[in-house]
Structure 1
């Protein structure tokens, strides 16, 4: 599976429709109760890039990007404007935003993540595509210096410390991030006449597992 470390033009994704998808299997029992289960440990996001297109130049940019990805063949980065920070959408990421691990005194590599909800039912989402230059890191409340104390791989979301943090220390991070996606179609149909009349093509985009 190929992945191109390029972002779908952010001005074209702004205004798109989409969000998380879950898969739940519901079985209705004869007594009126239900049994519910899911084969998915993680949610998957879907978007429609077509609704954000506003001009013929936008369509040209979309087609160029689509052709360079060879349709569904190669994945790419997508900015989800409703959820792209470790903090609230109106805030600025800080190194205390997300607890990503508790050190054991041995491990030096930790994965970025974002936690949704509170209490025992929280969902911890892996973050594999942080945005270059936005990652901040802390250990037990002390900010770390990236490039000196640790390194971040923006293609995987892995943090590597120069020395293992002491056991019990809490590792935190703040960041912006993209969603790894691919086009969910090999066909884009456009009509200049209909577009000028207010219609836009359907351009489905779906999150991929890495």
Structure 2
């Protein structure tokens, strides 16, 4: 299997159903108390891009994408319309959106991440598939120039600085990102509703670890 660095057509994924899934093991004790544990440090996202009545051209694009990925064999990029920015969906991306580390004068590579904050708790999600051209970076609230001060690997989400940030300097970044996924079925079923439209009831996809 391989990762194909191509995004599922965003026009087809818009309106899809899905989101994060976690795995929690719950054991109920004899006294009624519970012990809860999880083997997953990160959630895994699932989506269903099943399409209602769409043009046959849209159906053809879906089938072509499915065949080129050989069904479940090869992974690809997916735009999660509910969660694809480093900040709030209504806000533009800025270089101050997320703290990705602090300089020590030695480290020159930092990984993109997104923090989910609620009730004083924060969960960090690694971002491995940023959208090329969308990344913004700052050090100590001072925006840095891409290509001159830093570069980003869009295949891994690693930001590399030409000069390591100084000790204590806060490194922040803003970005759009995709989710690495694969099809979760080796079958696409199409119903042709008319000479110009068709229906694809289910197109399940699932996040893969990169």
2:87 is matched with: 87
Structure 1: gaps of 5 or more residues: none
1:161 is matched with: 161
Pairwise CA distance, 1:104: 1.7
Q: Choose between structure 1 and 2: higher helix proportion.
A: 1
Counterpart CA distance in 2 for 1:17 and 1:66 is 18
Deviation string, structure 1 residues 123-152 (Cα, Å, up to 9, x no partner): 100001111111000001000001000011
Give the 3 Å change call, closer, same or farther, for CA 33–65 of structure 1 in structure 2. Answer: same
Deviates more, 1:118-127 or 1:18-27: 118-127
1:96 is matched with: 96
Give the 3 Å change call, closer, same or farther, for CA 109–119 of structure 1 in structure 2. Answer: farther
Counterpart CA distance in 1 for 2:88 and 2:139 is 21
1:152 is matched with: 152
- 2:59–2:198: 8 Å Cα contact kept in structure 1? no
Q: 2:197 matched to 1:205?
A: no
- 2:72–2:184: 8 Å Cα contact kept in structure 1? yes
* 1:43-82 equivalence runs, <5 A: 43-51=43-51, 54-82=54-82
SS at match of 1:122: strand
* 1:20-59 equivalence runs, <5 A: 20-51=20-51, 54-59=54-59
- 1:84–1:178: 8 Å Cα contact kept in structure 2? yes
Q: 2:133 matched to 1:141?
A: no
Counterpart CA distance in 2 for 1:139 and 1:38 is 35
Deviation string, structure 1 residues 82-132 (Cα, Å, up to 9, x no partner): 000011101100000000101121111110000001576311000011111
- 2:54–2:197: 8 Å Cα contact kept in structure 1? no
Counterpart CA distance in 2 for 1:194 and 1:19 is 32
Q: Which runs of 4+ in 1 moved over 3 A?
A: 193-200
Q: Normalising by structure 2, what TM-score?
A: 0.95
2:5 is matched with: 5
Counterpart CA distance in 2 for 1:197 and 1:37 is 47
Number of paired residues? 210
- 1:12–1:53: 8 Å Cα contact kept in structure 2? no
- 1:109–1:158: 8 Å Cα contact kept in structure 2? yes
Q: Choose between structure 1 and 2: higher strand proportion.
A: 2
Counterpart CA distance in 2 for 1:117 and 1:108 is 27
- 2:183–2:205: 8 Å Cα contact kept in structure 1? yes
Give the 3 Å change call, closer, same or farther, for CA 25–14 of structure 1 in structure 2. Answer: same
Counterpart CA distance in 1 for 2:113 and 2:76 is 19
Pairwise CA distance, 1:195: 11
